[in-house]
Chain A
Amino acid sequence: MNRRIVGAFATVVLGAGLIAGIGTYVSAAKADTTILDATPAGTLETPQGTLKHFTMDLSIYPDSFFKTSSPHPDWVSYGPSTNFRVPAHSAITFTMKQYDSGEPITNDFFARVAGTMNGTINIDGKDVTKVDANTIGHTFTVRGLSNGKSNLFINVPMPMVPEDKMSENEGEYINPTIVKFTIITGDAGEYVWNCEFPCGDGTLARFGGPMSSQGFMSGHFIVTDN
């Protein structure tokens, strides 16, 4: 009798412990656990008044040799992280260094700029509202759950670098296209971003590989209150 109660109890505890252990392992086993925080940069005049200003610098690489240990060194990747944290109700200026080549995009909707301040982005010094759909390198496309909170949608297409201006050497990155834009964040929440240019070569619809795996062409975009 007693043995049975103790035994049943122990089984439950052991079982729950096993599940907790596996859960902890799985939740920690993320290919990219880093989160990049926006850097404070004073205030900025925006159409919505004066807002706190932050900056964030990102790069898009044609391979992932820049990572110390990438399971797929030949996959394209964002860097230095694929998870970003920015403050709510602020202006964030992104500077993207795009090092990769490109091709025509499958859906030219994503060649148009959306959701940035003034509806423009700045490419190598020029303000534009769209990019030639035949020469896209990657896009930076952010959205969240449609849940009545501010419905964030950002799409920033980034032109390609011509093949002949890229380095022959793996892990060496030169001549980026520099894309600058500012967004104004809404309420805090969990959003996600991914690249809408199909850059998973050799996979169906070129959306497998780096496009569908954690830590390369997608990630979390966290808007926080503090």
Chain B
Amino acid sequence: MTTTMDRTASAGHSAKSPLIEKLNVFTAFGLGIILAVVFYVLAAKLIPEDTDAMLIHTKHDQIILLAMIGWFIGFMVGIGALIGPFRWLLGKDLSHDENMFYAGKDLGTKRYFRYTTDHKVVGIQYLVTTMIIFGVGGILAMLIRTNLGNPEGGWIHPQAYNAIVGIHGIIMIVGTIIMITGPFGNFVMPIMIGARDMAFPRLNALSFWLIVAAIPPILSSFFLGGIMTGWTAYEPLASESPAGMDGYIMFICIFAISTMVAGANITATVVRMRARGMTWNRTPIFIYGVVASVALALPAFPVFFLSQIMSAFDRAMGTTFYNPAGGGSGWLYENLFWLMGHPEVYVILLPAIGALMEMAPVFTRRPLFSFNVAVMGIAGICGLSALVWAHHMYMSGWAPLLNGPFMLTTELISIPTGMLFLVLVGTLWRGRLWLTVPMASIYALLWNFMIGGITGIYLSDVPADGALHGTMFVTAHFHYTLMGAGLTGAVASLSYWFPKMTGRMLDRRLSWVSFWMVQIGFNVAFIGMFLVGLAGQPRRVESYNAMFNRGNMVTTAGAYVIMTGMLILLFAVVDSWRNGIKASDNPWFAKTLEWSVPTPVPLENFATLPVVTTDAYGYGKAKS
């Protein structure tokens, strides 16, 4: 482990394996594509033809899935993920020099394109990847909104439209899942708890490169007929979908592995590697947000993985887990999906709120109000969110008698959610507000998440859900939570930690312009969407009745404003990264540990490991 290594012992360059130095993202893509083609050709040759007697033809799906498995294996070998395990098979381990090489000791640009274990490199890799994912998802969103600018649609064919809606949905969900734990959970979190690296640095690199490996399958879906199910991939519709569905399945399976790996790693790091003296009530609240998130993901994603494996079997082996013609049931899928799906929404939200709660004391210059309530709120959400999944199934007919109990658990979740609001407004109360983009983001979160939360309460009410389920109202609700609350927190985190990560300040004026455009555009767009939802416009439709025209025009106009704001932010990030004002080590005068190390952060973060004696919120003198 790099954490235990002596920083001076780097003299000998003797037994370095040349292979390790040759592998990078290019060899990974190369080998991945080669193996995909090989698997494809072999499968097409060797797998017997479908017969007319078969109810479900499986050959095509087998070929596509095998080709994607080939891609996956090739990519992981090509990036060098298997070098360590292979050595262990031979009864050896990596040499010290090799470990240092893995850690990115040369500090060059090349380490960003390799299997590098330094958590700071992984953090940057995640940041860039997240931005690319949001870029792709954003383009798809604009296609959706442009098509819906006109009631009769028709600009995009329904088949392509469904593919766009589904892939927009799932890659945005994946983007939001990793948007905070990825970049900031990796870059900032270990420093924040006073550690030299993650508990398992190689798993850290693994979790990142798994995500890169997962992306080509979902994009290939567009060229394999698309998916027609939306992001939820409900069965049995998924079994009916063209081979694009196999891309979805592969994407989810690889991503689920990545999430499990990252979750285990982050949890172990926080539990085991906090600095001396950092007791649980001196641990920053952001850490709680991140750990709660990955702890929720740990049980959730194996279920998702499983549900997709069963989908793959139904498609490629002719099993009937979900096919009613063979005794299966779509309700099984719905249960598995939402068993993951509801915890997952809090996987997304908790780190975002945690980050903003972390920033609140810094920009109000006062302690976090009621740290204990914040922790209780996070814990309460975690506990309850495993018990509410069937509120997505009130109208499915699966178990009408359980609607009452699920209504109870769902409404209970607003109690711990309310606690987080209390903590935030309690911190603002009589604070001296230092008006920066992160500060303004706290306000944006309060506004957006209030709307998202209250509309959630309508939806949790079974009779109201009878009118609202499956409408644009639901779409607007979850955009208020995922984008209005979650993404706002992520963008705030970016401006807050940008100086530590890049050594430069994020351009202030451009980020303000972007902030206002995104927030105003967002509210215009999604309030319009609430209205058409209330009036009865279903979700995921390619064309709609003329009566919804006005609301949709408003939403589309808002979407264009969001797009403009986001592009301005993109420019600000790229430009500031290269030419921005140099940042001091602690530009916000904050008290958490990550600001105590120099920028750029040295390879092993701390020359001497810190000892913590207080919490990080000692702003002002607290009376009670």
Q: Interface residues, chain A, CB within 8 Å of chain B?
A: 4, 7-8, 10-12, 14-16, 18-19, 22-23, 26-27, 29-31, 145-147, 189-190, 201-205, 207-209, 212-214, 220
Contact of B568 among A11, A202, A205 (CB under 8 A): A11
Contact of B241 among A15, A22, A147, A208 (CB under 8 A): A208
Chain A residues with CB under 8 A of B240: 203-205, 207-208, 212
With A208-B241, A214-B158 as known contacts, state yes or no: A15 contacts B56, CB within 8 Å.
no
B543–A19 touching, CB < 8 Å:
no
Q: Is B544 an interface residue (CB 8 A)?
A: yes
* The 9 residue pairs across chains A and B that have the minimum distance between CB atoms: A202-B57, A11-B571, A147-B545, A204-B240, A208-B240, A15-B567, A190-B152, A204-B239, A12-B567
Residue in chain B with minimal CB distance to A71: B225
Residue of B nearest to A23 (CB): B143
Asked if residues B568 and A213 are in contact (CB atoms below 8 Å), the reply is no
Chain B residues, Cβ within 8 Å of A19: 139, 142-143, 563
Other 16 A-B pairs with CB < 8 A, given A147-B546, A190-B152, A204-B239:
A8-B572, A10-B571, A11-B568, A12-B567, A15-B563, A19-B143, A19-B563, A27-B155, A147-B545, A190-B153, A202-B54, A204-B240, A205-B240, A208-B239, A208-B240, A220-B154
CA distance A8 to B367 in the complex (A): 37
B146 touches A23 (CB 8 A): yes
The size of the chain B interface, using a CB distance under 8 A, is 46
Docked complex Cα distance between A10 and B547 (Å) = 37
Whether a CB of chain A sits under 8 angstroms from the CB of B160 is yes
Q: In angstroms, how far is the closest chain A Cβ from the Cβ of B264?
A: 36
Q: How far is the CB of B398 from chain A (nearest CB, A)?
A: 20
Check if B50 sits within 8 Å of A145, measured CB to CB.
no
B residues near A204, Cβ cutoff 8 Å: 56, 236, 239-240, 323, 325
A-chain residues with CB within 8 Å of residue B158 when the two chains form the complex: 214
- Chain A residues with CB below 8 A from B242, complex form: 208-209, 212-213
Task: Judge whether A145 and B57 touch: CB under 8 Å.
Answer: no
Residues of B within 8 A of A7 (CB): 571, 575
CA A189 to CA B157, docked complex, whole Å: 17
CA distance A214 to B157 in the complex (A): 8
B545 A146 Cβ-Cβ under 8 A: yes
Are B509 and A4 within 8 A (Cβ)? Answer: yes
* A208 proximity list for chain B (CB < 8 A): 239-242
Tell me, in angstroms, the Cα distance from A27 to B236 when the chains sit together: 28
B204 to chain A, nearest CB (A): 32
Shortest distance from the beta carbon of B549 to any chain A beta carbon, whole Å: 11
In the complex, whether B585 has a CB less than 8 A from a CB of chain A is no
Q: Is B554 an interface residue (CB 8 A)?
A: no
Q: How far is the CA of A146 from the CA of B152 in the complex (A)?
A: 12
- Could you tell me if A27 and B156 are in contact, using CB atoms closer than 8 angstroms? yes
In the bound complex, residues from chain A placing their C-beta under 8 Å from that of B509 are 4
Assess the B510–A8 pair: CB atoms within 8 A: yes
A15 to B510, CA, bound (A): 16
Contacts of B50 in A (CB 8 A): 202
Kindly state whether residue B295 has any CB partner on chain A within 8 Å.
no
Q: How far is the CA of A147 from the CA of B544 in the complex (A)?
A: 9
**Bound-state Cα–Cα, A115 to B142, Å:** 39
Complex Cα spacing A19 to B154, Å: 17
B residues lining the A interface (CB < 8 Å): 50, 52, 54-57, 139, 142-143, 146, 152-160, 164, 225, 228, 236, 239-242, 323, 325, 507, 509-510, 513, 543-547, 563-564, 567-568, 570-572, 575
* Cα A204 to Cα B545 with chains together (Å): 30
Give the CA-CA distance A205 to B164 in the complex, in Å: 24
- Min CB distance A101 to B, Å, is 12
Whether B228 pairs with A212 at a CB distance below 8 angstroms is yes
Shortest beta-carbon distance from B538 to chain A in Å: 11
Q: A8-B568, A15-B567, A204-B56 are in contact. Are A214 and B159 (CB under 8 A)?
A: yes
Nearest Cβ on chain B to A160's Cβ, whole angstroms: 16
A-B contact pairs, 19 of them (CB 8 A): A7-B571, A12-B564, A12-B568, A12-B571, A15-B570, A19-B139, A19-B563, A22-B139, A23-B142, A146-B545, A147-B545, A190-B153, A202-B50, A202-B54, A202-B57, A203-B56, A203-B240, A212-B159, A213-B225
CA distance A189 to B242 in the complex (A): 30
CA A40 to CA B225, docked complex, whole Å? 37
Which B residues touch A202, using CB under 8 A? 50, 54-57
Distance between Cα atoms of A18 and B55 in the complex (Å): 43
Residues of A within 8 A of B564 (CB): 12, 16
Closest to B235 in A: A204
Residues of B within 8 A of A26 (CB): 143, 156, 160, 164
Q: CA–CA, A202 to B54, complex, Å?
A: 7
Residue in B closest to A15 when the chains form the complex, CB atoms: B567
Nearest chain B CB to A148 CB, angstrom units = 8
Q: A18 — which chain B residues lie within 8 A by C-beta?
A: 139
* Contact residue among B154, B228, B571 (Cβ-Cβ distance under 8 Å from A8): B571
In Å, the complex CA distance between A150 and B323 comes to 37
Complex interface: chain B residues within 8 A of A190 (CB): 152-154, 543
Candidate in A27, A189, A220 with the most chain B CB atoms within 10 angstroms: A27
A29 to B546 alpha-carbon distance, docked (Å):
26
In the assembled complex, the CB of A195 is this many whole angstroms from the nearest CB of chain B, namely 15
Q: How far, in angstroms, from A208 to B243 measured CA to CA in the complex? A: 11
Q: Which residue of A lies closest to B164 (CB)?
A: A26
Q: Closest approach, in angstroms, between the C-beta of A127 and any C-beta of chain B?
A: 35
Task: State the CA gap A98–B275 with chains docked (Å).
Answer: 78
Q: In whole Å, how far is B158's beta carbon from the nearest beta carbon of chain A? A: 7
Tell me which residues across on chain B come within 8 A of A10, comparing CB atoms. Answer: 571
- What residue in chain A is nearest B141 (Cβ atoms)? A19
Q: Which residue on chain B has the smallest CB distance to residue A13? A: B567
- Given A29-B160, A213-B242, answer yes or no on A4-B567 (Cβ-Cβ < 8 Å): no
| Cα of A146 to Cα of B538 in the assembled complex, Å | 13
Q: Which residue of A lies closest to B60 (CB)?
A: A202
Closest to B162 in A: A212
Contact for A30 among B54, B157, B570, B575, CB less than 8 A: B157
Count chain B CB atoms within 10 A of each CB in A14, A18, A19 and give the residue with the most.
A19
- Expressed in whole angstroms, the minimum distance between the Cβ of B519 and any Cβ of chain A is 17
- Contact check, B568 vs A203: say whether CB atoms are below 8 A apart: no
What is the bound-complex CA distance between A202 and B158, given in angstroms?
Answer: 22
Q: How far is the CA of A212 from the CA of B160 in the complex (A)?
A: 11
How long is the Cα–Cα vector from A220 to B154 in the complex, in angstroms? 9
Task: Report if A145-B239 is in contact (Cβ < 8 Å); known contacts: A11-B570, A30-B157.
Answer: no
Instruction: Flag if A213 contacts B546 (CB, 8 Å).
Output: no
Complex alpha-carbon distance, A190 and B225, angstroms: 24
Q: Determine the chain B residues whose CB is within 8 A of the CB of A16 once the complex forms.
A: 563-564, 567
B546: nearest residue on chain A (CB-CB)? Answer: A147
Decide: B510 and A4 in contact? CB cutoff 8 A.
Answer: yes
CA separation between A224 and B227, bound complex, in Å? 32
Question: What separation, in Å, do the CA atoms of A213 and B236 have in the docked complex?
Answer: 17
In the bound assembly, the distance between CA atoms of A102 and B107 in angstroms comes to 68
Chain A positions within 8 Å of B507 at CB level: 4
Which residue of chain A has the shortest Cβ distance to B163 in the bound complex? Answer: A26
Q: From residue B60, how far is it (CB to closest CB) to chain A in Å?
A: 9
Query: By the criterion CB–CB under 8 Å, are A205 and B236 in contact?
Result: yes
Distance between Cα atoms of A139 and B159 in the complex (Å): 21
Closest CB in chain A relative to B460 CB, distance in Å? 30
Give CA–CA (A15, B138) in the complex, Å: 10
